[in-house]
Amino acid sequence: MELDILAGAEEFSFDGGPVGALLIHGFTGSPQGLRGLGEYLTERGIAVEGIRLPGHGTTWQDLNTRRSSEWVGAVEEGHAKLAEGRDKVFLVSLSFGSALALDFAAHHPDRVAGLVSLAGMVLVKDPRRFVSGIIARLTPSIPGVGNDIAEPGGREIVYERFPTSAGHQMLRFIKTARRALPQVSCPLLVMHSHNDHTVHPDNALEIHRRAASTDKRLVWVDDSYHVITLDVDRQRVFESTYEFIRDRS
């Protein structure tokens, strides 16, 4: 049965020129977290595809039925759609979306002109990670971790519950993405906040240090928390992302 998409969580596609940006949202989130950035980029001539990962933007129960291979497939399909007739495609990713983006870049170096990791996640420090499979068998969900935003009134469309079976899939996949970092060779921009309460700032250091890219930069945006595309520093995030793409196009 086809599930309804939450209002505002729909995927989006904006026409532009010969350069494209594939936007990949995070775990339990939705394309809404990247829509503002997508609009900013397309206003400056960049074609944008904001995909919705399977199981997202519907219900946490739906997400709990999904496997990481489906999320990988969604990235591959989104890239193929955007790349048709275009000279270059960049990946712009938020949170867990960066694990998917980095894995794609590692396996398809000739298809990625550059990668922007926003509050990217390739490691988790929560001790529950060691027993995530057991937790998934004991309970279908635990309290969610969304809306880590410093700006008053800031709102992310995100599930209030964290689906444990899908969470186990996610945790296994970020190990795969972390192992793939030495195979990432494309230009790389890493942006993160030291005040991120959801994804530890050490993730930014790990991505920046272990990626094989020679053109790479690490930027801190410390007036924000986790969802830096919707938070106090969002204008700086938008501008830096655009400049990164523009200068490598």
Report the predicted TM-score, pTM, of the whole model to 2 decimal places.
0.96
Do 160 and 144 meet the contact criterion of CB atoms below 8 Å apart? yes
Summarize the confidence of residues 223-247 as an average pLDDT. Answer: 98
114: β partners: 90
User: Which phi and psi angles does 247 have, rounded to 5°?
Assistant: -70, -15
Q: Which residues are catalytic?
A: 95, 196, 226
**For position 156, what pLDDT does the model report?**
96
Q: pLDDT tens digits for 177-215?
A: 999 999 999 999 999 999 999 999 999 999 999 999 999
Q: pLDDT tens digits for 141-172?
A: 999 888 899 999 999 999 999 999 999 999 99
Summarize the confidence of residues 232-245 as an average pLDDT. Answer: 98
For 244, the enclosing helix (H) or strand (E) is helix 234-247
- CA 204 vs CA 10, 95, 159: distances in Å: 28, 10, 24
Cα dihedral 92, 97, 101, 104, rounded to 10, equals -150
Summarize the confidence of residues 83-100 as an average pLDDT. Answer: 97
**For position 163, what pLDDT does the model report?**
97
**List of domains in the chain:** 12-247 (3.40.50.1820)
Which of 122, 113, 125, 123 minimizes the C-alpha distance to 189? Answer: 113
**For position 1, what pLDDT does the model report?**
66
Do 193 and 220 meet the contact criterion of CB atoms below 8 Å apart? yes
Q: pLDDT tens digits for 49-63?
A: 999 999 999 999 999
CA distance 66 to 177: 18
Q: pLDDT tens digits for 92-141?
A: 999 999 999 999 999 999 999 999 999 999 999 887 887 888 999 999 99
Pairing mode of beta strands 19-24, 114-118: unpaired
CA distance 119 to 124: 13
